[in-house]
A and B are shown apart, each in its own frame.
Chain A
Amino acid sequence: MRDLLSNKYLTLLFRVILGVVFCYAAVDKIVHIDQFARAIYFYHIAPGWTVNVMAVVMPMVEMIAGICLILGIMPRGAATLIVAMLVMFIVALTIVYVRGVDINCGCFSVSSRGKESAVGLIWRDLLLLLMGLQVLFLGRDFLSLQRLRK
Chain B
Amino acid sequence: MKKPAIEIVVILAISISAGVVNNSVSANRIAWIGSWPSISDAEDDSAWDCLSCVETDPPQLSLGEASALYQNPEVLFLDARFPEEYAEGHIERAYLLPIEATSTDFDAYFNAVKPLLDSSRLIVTYCSGAECESSLFLARYLRDQIGLPNVSIFFGGWRRWENAGLPAAYPNRETETEN
Contact = CB atoms under 8 A, between A and B. Distances in A.
Interface string A58-85: 0111011100100000101110110000
A interface majority secondary structure: helix
Interface stretch (B24-32, B105-113, B117-125, B145-153): B24-32
Nearest to A48: B36
Nearest to A64: B15
A49 B65 CA distance: 32
A102 B159 contact: yes
Contacts, number: 118
Contacts of B8: 77, 80-81
Interface residues of A, number: 40
A32 interface: yes
Contacts of B16: 57, 60
Contacts of A35: 28
B19 A48 contact: no
B131 A38 contact: yes
Nearest to A146: B7
A31 interface: yes
A80 B2 CA distance: 13
Contacts of B85: 112, 115
Contacts of A7: none
Contacts of A144: none
A52 B30 contact: yes
